[in-house]
Structure 1
Amino acid sequence: MMILKSSLFGLLSLIGAAQATVQGFDISNYQPSVNFAGAYSSGARFVIIKATEGTTYTSPSFSNHYVGATNAGFIRGAYHFAHPGQTTAAAQADFFIANGGGWSRDGITLPGMLDLENESGYAACWGLSASSMVAWIKAFSDRYQARTGRYPMLYTNPSWWSTCTGNSAAFVNTNPLVLARYASAPGTPPGGWAYQTIWQNSDSFAYGGDSDIFNGSLDRLVALATG
């Protein structure tokens, strides 16, 4: 009986480890006031904060958000809302890094995230062909890696990725996927990724912004920040 209990405990431990997740959230200037202390007390441990857009916009809330997240004990990082084809990828990567989107091996800074989606008022897929879009993303990714030592995380949804990149698998070995899908389960990732690193599962989080779930245990989240 003792052997059986021991085996069962080991099995349950493995299952628990496989299913381990960490709650987080992402915010922008749409949430100028965020309850970081409440979010941390609820169990959230990471936050991704909008820093820049294109080559001209910097979020007026970024600094306050970043300091607030840091003081509350979060692992935190920044994201850039891409305007592919509007300016060069290198220019946008440089602008992002210059305005809060860099990375350091301090164990609490996530690699920057490139937000890839359509925006009202602009052509679908920013007017780029699938091959041009893939080339633009790769140029941004390579520039960010060359300057920071890390490849950026890529945020997208299956529909956009399929339509705008032709469901490209060019980034599966370099860039962590942040999957936007508001559903009860993440489903099959696009673009050949075996799994998502972070799942944005809802556009509403009780303490501000969108709900994000890291696909792993807290020590793996720390590893992602550490590099």
Structure 2
Amino acid sequence: MRKKIARSKTSVRRKPQKKTSFFAKKYSVLFVLLIFIFGLVYHYRNSLAYYFSFKSDKVLTNESENKRISDIRNIQVLEKHQDKVIGIDVSQYQGTIQWNLVDTLEQKHLLRYVFIRATAGNDKIDSKFATNWIGAKKAKLIRGAYHYYRPNENSMEQAKLFIKTVHLQKGDLPPVLDIEKLPKEQSIVNLKIGLKRWLALVEAHYKVRPIIYTGENYYDDFLKEEFKDYLFWIANYNFYREEIKEDWLFWQFTEKATVSGIKGNVDVNIYNGDAEQLGFITLE
């Protein structure tokens, strides 16, 4: 009788999985970053070329004029909207403006209109409104006046202050209600009631429906549906936004532009149409 030989079970040894080294991960991230940067440079290649050639020319002639649009995106946006009408908006924060010098942006894009802050809240008249209003007319720019709305102040008093301050004429743009802040002392429902009262009183006085200015998120979250009968002027400076939306009348795409005759940064706006169409919305 044969003896059974007991065989020991051979344990299967698995090869340990190789762990991704720190350096491999680092280089992978670096590679992705380089691809992103390359894509970004390629996307803005024309604007970069224009920007650097423009800057180098200015260094040779006048260093003070070297302060033009510093954001490459701004140039890209302007190049994509050559068929649209460009304008600016100003307030007392721009100081004393030399309106006889205000004509183009980047010595290339003709400025055709300007929105000027007239009032804020129920008691504030912009200290430069009167001079800016006259100066813009002399510069042959289409003028518009706007009111900065303070949510926690009486809407009717705010409307009456604007009406008392702003005397619109034929060829001027419709009045603008600037709403940017959320209320601290009232509900959103009451805020909307106040906005509607301001809009109604101003429309009754000037016989034209006002334009509403606000940020894109504010527009989407609070105003888009309930104020759909109004035309909107939207502010959006985000890097990804390069073209105006169809339902925006105006787009404020930057707050960091330089215009001759104005010290410091200036907001720049694009009208969603050509010069002839802009004339259609002015007062008759």
TM-score, normalised relative to structure 2: 0.63
Matched, 1:171 2:238: no
Q: 1: CA distance between counterparts of 2:200 and 2:208?
A: 9
Q: 1:92 to 1:144 in 2, by over 3 A?
A: same
Of 168, 179, 182, which aligns to 1:103?
A: 168
Q: Are the counterparts in 1 of residues 174 and 283 from structure 2 also a CA contact under 8 Å?
A: no
**Map 1:1-227 → 2, pairs under 5 A:** 20-42=83-105, 43-87=110-154, 89-100=155-166, 102-104=167-169, 106-107=170-171, 109-118=172-181, 124-163=182-221, 165=222, 167-173=223-229, 175-183=230-238, 184-186=241-243, 195-207=247-259, 208=262, 209-226=266-283
1:179 CA drift (Å): 0.2
Q: 1:126 to 1:156 in 2, by over 3 A?
A: farther
- Counterpart for residue 3 of structure 1: none
Root mean square deviation, CA, Å:
2.1
1:186 CA drift (Å): 4.9
1:126 CA drift (Å): 4.0
- Structure 1 gaps, min length 5: 1-17, 119-123, 189-193
- Counterpart for residue 6 of structure 1: none
Percent of matched pairs sharing the same residue: 26
Q: 2: CA distance between counterparts of 1:62 and 1:129?
A: 32
- Counterpart for residue 54 of structure 2: none
Q: 1:36 to 1:168 in 2, by over 3 A?
A: same
Q: Are the counterparts in 2 of residues 49 and 77 from structure 1 also a CA contact under 8 Å?
A: yes
Residues matched between the structures, number: 193
Question: In the alignment, residue 161 of structure 2 is paired with which amino acid?
Answer: F
Q: Are the counterparts in 2 of residues 83 and 126 from structure 1 also a CA contact under 8 Å?
A: no
TM-score, normalised relative to structure 1: 0.77
- Counterpart for residue 14 of structure 1: none
1:137 CA drift (Å): 1.1
